[in-house]
A and B are shown apart, each in its own frame.
Chain A
Amino acid sequence: MRHSFDVQVGPIGFRIGSAWSQPIETMEFLYAGYPRAPVPDYTVRLEPPRPWRRLIRPSVSIQGDHVLPEAAPLPLAQALLAAEMGMNLQVALGERRFLLLHAACVERDGRALILTGESGSGKSTMSALLGASGWRFMGDEFVLIEPATGLAHPFPRPVSLKNESIAALTAILPDVRFGPLLRGTPKGDVRHLRPDLAAIANMAATAIPALILFPCFGPPREIREVAASEAFVRLTQASTNYVALGESGFTALTRLVTTLPARAIDYPDTATGIAQIEELWSGL
């Protein structure tokens, strides 16, 4: 590959190769302060779908160790998104050491709060806000649960902020932590927020899961208990490798939902949501 970059995020190393210099330069900025990965776990390639598409109407196809055949190429202006999606894809399809939960995670006093839900539930925004107010940010895409110990491993990638939440966070955090604004992506406007130095410096420090939350942005304030059975089913749907792990995945997930409280919270605005989370956390 003409241009390349490697980075270690928590327990997982990546190598990104690109036919263009621009995505690599953006990634070097967004991942400033992260360690390098001399032997990466996964390779991602940003390639033109046809040779001439490197220069003429440049377009980025996501390739790598694991690929989805139906993934459509993105315009070069959104190459950063392509790289991030490519990294997620490698982990989602390839990872077998951890049970993966599509969730955000923050830590306080060595204990982890897991936020999971559909896209739009607000888990990225909430984890970024919590990360700015006394919690350690552990990740907003995947929580990695180690089957043998049940511990949550940090995977603190840049937070992918979408649409309205971009303004909410650019208002309170320094410019230097934000990547370029990507307009009109398949997910709307996207801007990446680099985690703070503590999150990056402590990305090898695991935490004991303590609470599972299913946030839902929009409806009036409400908190509801979630039975272990419901939490189990919702988390199997939130896991990309539950089936592939077989018995160890089942054991890890069963332990998680039977030993941890789970709550669904509805919140009309982020301030209310944060207050609900603090209330639940102090009642543990």
Chain B
Amino acid sequence: MKGVALLVAALAKPETVLALDAPGWTDLLSIAKAERLAGSLAHGLDGLVMPDAARRVLTAARANAETGRTHALWEAEMARTALAKLGVPIVLLKGAAFVAAGLDAGQGRLIGDLDILVPREQLDGVEAALLSAGWEWVKADPYDDDYYRRWMHELPPLIHRDRDRMIDVHHTILPLTSRPKPDAAAMIADSVALENGLRILAPEDMVVHAAAHLFADGDLAGGLRNLWDIDRLVREFEGDGFHDRLLARANLHGLKPETERALRLSAKLFETPIPPELSRLADRLYLNRLMARDGWGRETRPLLRLAFYIRSHWLRMPPMMLAKHLWTKWRK
């Protein structure tokens, strides 16, 4: 076994690492860092016999994830305080939601920016409240700013001037130019309150959001981490007809094909428990894209990556708009 397959095996079946030699461990750790899954790996391999150096690397990764968790929860609390007087529902998304709700998907997970979802009609008030609480614009470029406001699913990113932490304020989960039109109002209406008043998406929506992020918005760079999120979420929520509710919900958001693809690929790589499904021809391409990295952490398969990069733009915008956008960007 080599390349990303080492990481996939170690995540899905931790005991496979017992057979690794020193070069195998070296590759595994480099790949885990490159895929930003070292903390998750550390959590999964806890208690197993391994070389001292590997234990050191994984201990550092766990410490890093633990500090990240504290930072993420603190940023969420800061956002809650800043927006408290508006009385708007604040739904935490992705990593911050996983750790705030204590989900398995949050174990060892690296968390970048704070992502929140708020009702679109409240966006102006939310923006003003964040600005007055110390967040500032990151992008000064008027074209980018206008682009975000007209076509994106989020405000242009804001950064806090003292804490240097970024917040992404979403009003839906996909760019407005994407073909699928998720029902953001339904997502907020069915979100679940945490003890501190912050909210997280309903379990089904959480999985649909992860699938949307993976297959409808982006070029699958770092996609393995999203797929691992999906595996953890599905395992935690499965039973009591979760699968049927999930697909019904995906259908409501126009994201059934993406959700089904996420489940098929996750089952293929991590043996995520789902009812048996026939794999599609295109799944092989997605898998090859997800696994495009070697033992030195280098990206491989440049043409396939380029194809997925082009696809990501194709998905985001109708052709004429894309042409205009690229022309504007190219002239800058």
Contact = CB atoms under 8 A, between A and B. Distances in A.
Interface of A: 1, 11, 13, 15, 17, 37-41, 43, 45, 47, 63-66, 94-97, 244-246, 248
B296 A96 contact: no
Interface of B: 22, 25-26, 29-30, 33-34, 51-54, 56-57, 59-61, 63-64, 66-67, 70-71, 296-298
A3 to B, nearest CB: 12
Contact of A244 (B30, B34, B67, B298): B67
A158 to B, nearest CB: 22
Contact of B297 (A38, A41, A43, A96): A43
Query: Per DSSP, are chain B's interface residues mostly helix, strand or loop, or mixed?
Result: helix
Nearest to B34: A65
Contacts of A65: 30, 33-34, 297
B102 to A, nearest CB: 19
Contacts, number: 61
Contacts of A246: 66-67, 70-71
Contact of B296 (A45, A95, A97): A45
Contacts of B52: 39
Nearest to B164: A243
Contacts of B64: 96, 244
Given A39-B22, A43-B30, A96 B53 contact: no
Given A65-B33, A246-B70, A39 B63 contact: no
B53 A40 contact: yes
Contacts of B53: 13, 37-41
A96 B67 CA distance: 10
A49 B61 CA distance: 28
A38 B296 contact: no
Nearest to A248: B63
Contact of B59 (A1, A64, A97, A248): A97
Given A41-B53, A43-B297, A96 B70 contact: no
A17 B296 contact: yes
Contacts of A96: 59-61, 63-64, 67
Nearest to A246: B67
B30 A38 contact: no
